Amino acid sequence: MNNSYEAVMARKNSIMKDSVGIDYDKFEGDNINFDYEAMMADCGFTLDEVRKIQSDYGVGNTPLKECKNITALARKVSKPGYGARIFIKDEALNDSGSFKARRASMACFQAKKLGFKGVIAATSGNYGAAVASQAAKHGLKCIIVQECFDSKGIGQPEIVEKARACEAYGAEVIQLSVGPELFYKFLLLLEETGYFNASLYTPYGVMGIESLGAELIEDSLKMIGKIPDMVVCTNAGGGNLTGTARGIVKTTSKKVQIVGASVNLKGLHMASDIDFNLKSFTTGHTGFGLPFMINPDRSDVPRSAGRPLRYIDRYVTVNQGEVFFMTETLTALEGIERGPAGNTSLAAAFSLAQELKEDQVIIVQETEYTGAGKHHQAQLSFARQNGIDIFFGNPKEEIPGKNIILPKTVDLIKIQELDLDQIRKKYIQTQLTKTDSLTKSDIEFLAIETNTNIPYIMDEINKYHIAVED
Ligand SMILES: Cc1ncc(COP(=O)(O)O)c(C=O)c1O
């Protein structure tokens, strides 16, 4: 078989089809639309079934915890009567230490059910450890492919730590440097091994997170007798926010505001070898969050099940220094030592709480494990070795890749609001580059995808010279 880069890329669709057991073509519509809900339903698990599988395999039912001291601190800098109660859903207590266990549990269950001998995932994040842990439970072989080093062979400490975790769970870890070979290598491995593609973006993965949304509504009702006013989700590829929001909608008919939060890494390029080790965050940042929101189908499957624009009400960013500061605050004030991704939402929640009244409730929907290279001390030392200046001041002056500014006073921890309207318009523009004409179904699809309406879409379409069929 021809294994050149071009030849393997040309076989991409058939490799995907064989390795994931989903015929994506059957959900395709006219020019740009596809039937998202049919794709989700076709996978054949109800939310109750997902929950049953997860509880059989050590996943879910994590505790909801009130951060009383952090709430008290937020109230010190709020207007009188303001400062919502802040809660966290302690997802670090899943086996493998993050909510990613929910995604992996469904992928591995399905792989076993379909008779695959092993699973493969391309991920530098928590998902690797989650897949490795679930594969161990199911007696499946596991390969994790990571983008780990820059071209000088220097590894990002957080990713190196995740390799350690994957290997501890018995997985084989293939570590690559930054560049396009990751996807090529991933496809080759799928073909050579015949293993299941445990992609983060299949319906199984996203459906696995719906249980998290359901639990946080139930936990909140049990603990405080009402549903939260706002749920903050750390956002990168969009599956976390999508799955959580879908679970919430399936569990309550009341409106809960869904806020996405990402670390602001403006100016750093995700594919750049030089920038690779200048980032102190490997996920939950704008380098993934924005491109995946604007074009969700840029992932490793033909149609991503993570479609955050359908559900998001606000999208906010916080800076690296603010997240490091909140990580220490969670440890020092609440006695809970957790990793960076959940603390991105916590830093945002600290600022958002000040907009809400004291009797209102914000849930940060996840925490993640920390330790070794994932720890904020390790990340700050690594940043310093890479020439990043670290000091106290106003985080709003932070320049990603040049400095990390820890807030001098807590009132300086302030979210930046991203313009969702602009993001929606960019999403539409991206879709329109894929076609010369649109049908009524395409227009309806765009309205659902952007959580807007037909007149909004028509206004946008009229700006481009694109034919609309009757
Ligand atoms: C702990 C944690 N939180 C949040 C995220 C973001 O999830 P998503 O990529 O689905 O937006 C990740 C993904 O890497 C993660 O590992």
pLDDT at residue 33 greater than cutoff 90: yes
Query: Could you tell me if 279 and 234 lie in one domain?
Result: yes
Which residue out of 126, 156, 206, 366 has the highest number of ligand 1 atoms within 8 Å of its CB and is therefore the one to mutate?
126
Has residue 124 been placed in a domain?
no
Residue 134 CA to residue 123 CA, distance in Å, equals: 15
Ligand 1 pocket, CB under 6 A:
98, 100, 125-126, 234-240, 283-284, 306, 341, 366, 368
In a domain, 255, yes or no: yes
Residue 289 lies in a domain: yes
User: Residues with Cβ < 8 Å from 40, sequence gap 6 or more?
Assistant: 203, 206, 207, 305
Is 350 found in the same domain as 402?
Answer: yes
Judge whether residue 361 has pLDDT over 90.
yes
Q: What is the domain range of residue 459?
A: 420-468
Confidence at residue 180, expressed as pLDDT on a 0 to 100 scale = 78
Q: For Cα atoms 238, 241, 244, give the angle at the middle one, nearest 5 degrees.
A: 140
Q: Are 398 and 300 contained in the same domain?
A: yes
Task: Assign residue 385 the CATH number of its domain.
Answer: 3.40.50.1100
pLDDT given at position 344: 98
Task: Confirm whether 30 is domain-assigned.
Answer: no
Given a cut of 90, whether residue 446 has pLDDT beyond it is yes
- Listed residue (317, 348, 314) closest to 421, CA to CA: 314
- Residue 222 pLDDT level (bands cut at 50, 70, 90): very high
My answer on whether 290 and 434 are in the same domain is: no
pLDDT of 2-12, one tens digit each?
999 999 999 98
CA 240 to CA 89: how far, in whole Å?
Answer: 13
Residue nearest to atom 3 of ligand 1 (CA): 341
User: pLDDT tens, 335-355?
Assistant: 999 999 999 999 999 999 999
Pocket test for ligand 1, best of 146, 234, 299, 300 (most atoms within 8 A of CB): 234
Nearest ligand 1 atom to the CA of 126 is: 16
Q: Does residue 324 lie within any of the structural domains?
A: yes
Question: Residue 235 CA: which ligand 1 atom is closest?
Answer: 11
Residue 116 counted as domain residue: no
Query: What is the Å distance from ligand 1's center to 6 Cα?
Result: 31
Which percentage of the chain shows pLDDT scores above 90? 90
In a domain, 434, yes or no: yes
Q: Whose CA is nearest to atom 7 of ligand 1?
A: 240
Give yes or no for residue 73 having a pLDDT over 90: yes
Same domain membership, residue 262 and residue 386: yes
Together in a domain, 407 and 431: no
Indicate whether 32 belongs to any domain: no
Please name the residue whose Cα sits nearest to atom 4 of ligand 1.
234
d(Cα 101, Cα 394) in Å, to the nearest integer? 36
CA proximity to 304, closest of 49, 50, 39: 39
What's the number of domains the chain is made of? 2
Question: Which of 89, 123, 240 should be mutated for ligand 1, with most atoms under 8 A from CB?
Answer: 240
Higher pLDDT, 247 or 302: 247
Cα separation values, 331 from 67, 138, 223, 470, Å: 11, 35, 23, 60
* 350/377 same-domain check: yes
**pLDDT of amino acid 17:** 86
Which is it for strands 437-438 and 416-417: parallel, antiparallel or unpaired?
unpaired
Boundary (domain end) residue, out of 374, 395, 417: 417
Give residue 115 CA to ligand 1 midpoint distance, Å.
Answer: 28
Can you give the pLDDT at residue 290?
A: 97
State the distance from the centre of ligand 1 to the C-alpha of 31, rounded, in angstroms.
31
What separation in angstroms does the CA of 213 have from each of 48, 66, 89, 203, 210? Answer: 13, 17, 10, 16, 5
Distance (Å) from CA 120 to ligand 1 centroid: 18
- Which contiguous run of DSSP H or E holds residue 445? helix 440-449
Side chain identity at residue 251, one-letter code: T
| pLDDT on residue 266 | 95
Centre of ligand 1 to C-alpha 183, Å, is 19
Judged against a pLDDT cut of 90, whether residue 225 lies above it is answered with yes
Residue 179: band (very low, low, confident or very high) from pLDDT cuts 50, 70, 90 = confident
384, 453: one domain: no
Question: Is residue 248 a contact partner of residue 305, using CB atoms and an 8 Å limit?
Answer: no
Helix/strand/coil for 247: helix
- Judge whether residue 21 has pLDDT over 90: no
Six-digit token string for 348:
């945002």
CA 447 to ligand 1 center in whole angstroms: 26
Q: How many residues does the chain have?
A: 470
Do 284 and 125 meet the contact criterion of CB atoms below 8 Å apart?
no
233 token code pair: 């989700």
Regarding whether 368 and 219 lie in a shared domain, the answer is yes
pLDDT average, residue stretch 246-275: 95
Mutate to test the pocket of ligand 1, among 206, 283, 288, 367 (most ligand atoms within 8 A of CB): 283
- For CA atoms 109, 310, 121, 11, the dihedral sign is positive
pLDDT computed for residue 72 by the predictor: 98
pLDDT for 119: 98
Inform me whether the pLDDT recorded for 99 exceeds 80.
yes
Of residues 388, 366, 346, the one with CA closest to residue 215:
366
Mean pLDDT of the chain: 96
Neighbours of 284 (CB within 10 A): 30
Strand positions, DSSP E, 329-369: 361-364
- What residues form DSSP beta bridges with 149? 155, 177
283 CA distance to ligand 1 middle (Å) = 6
Helix (H) or strand (E) holding 121: strand 118-122
The SS3 assignment for 14 reads helix
Residue 267 and residue 404 in one domain: yes
380 and 448 belong to one structural domain: no
**What does the pLDDT look like over 154-177, one tens digit per residue?**
999 999 999 999 999 999 999 998
> For residue 377, how far is its CA from the centre of ligand 1 (angstroms)?
21
Radius of gyration of the chain from Cα atoms?
Answer: 21
| Res. 178 pLDDT band, cuts 50 70 90 | confident
**Shared domain check, 431 and 347:** no
**341 CA from centroid of ligand 1 (Å):** 7
Tokens, residue 325: 């500061």
**Could you tell me the two tokens for 367?**
């925490």
In sequence order, what are the beta bridge partners of 468? 438
Q: Which of 377, 394, 417 is the last residue of a domain?
A: 417
CB atoms closer than 10 angstroms to residue 183: 17
Q: What mean pLDDT comes out for the span 81-106? A: 98
